Amino acid sequence: MLINSKRFGQLDIDETKIITFINGLLGFEHLKKYIILDHPGSDFLKWLQSIDDLDISLPVVDPTAFFPDYSPRISRDDLDTIGIKNIEDAIVLCIITVPSDIQKATINLKAPVILNPACRLADQMIAENSEYKVKHPLTLNEKPEGRCAGC
């Protein structure tokens, strides 16, 4: 399937890699179909590229690359919506925001994207952990410790 993304230009997408979001992303609830793309030259940065609106692409990372102890508590009911029994079976990604001043970059640890890789279903879910913030400071000038597992 050929798409013409605003950010990445023309891409040949394998339709079996399309991820369906049950409720969409916060602020983009009407957009349900996405694909994960690698960021050129980066081992840790990925992009959630909307298939429904090719102008929308959001930067995401495996949060454990920056926060090795990151362990969101997600309700059983939320995990059930995408067919996950244990969060360890999911791919967990967090959306980052990078303003013009890179030193003010933030990561949304409060509402991670939880993906069931077996059936390509996902949703953005609210972590019950009180210590996680929507705009948690993120230092991008240091190399992260890990990579995005399973992307």
pLDDT of residue 145: 52
Which neighbouring-strand residues pair with 10? 4
pLDDT tier at 10 (50, 70, 90 boundaries)?
Answer: confident
Which residue's structure tokens are 């925001």?
Answer: 97
pLDDT of residue 59: 95
Token pair for residue 21?
């979001």
* Average of per-residue pLDDT across 128-146: 79
Residue 95 CA to residue 105 CA, distance in Å, equals 11
pLDDT of residue 93: 97
Residue 77 CA to residue 75 CA, distance in Å, equals 5
pLDDT of residue 98: 87
2-137: which CATH topology? BH3618-like (2.30.290)
Token pair for residue 59?
């930067």
Domain layout of the chain by residue ranges = 2-137
pLDDT of residue 146: 46
Q: pLDDT digits over 53-82, tens only? A: 989 999 999 999 999 999 999 999 999 999
Give the number of residues written for the chain. 151
Residue 95 CA to residue 62 CA, distance in Å, equals 9
Max mean pLDDT among 31-35, 96-100, 139-143 falls in 31-35
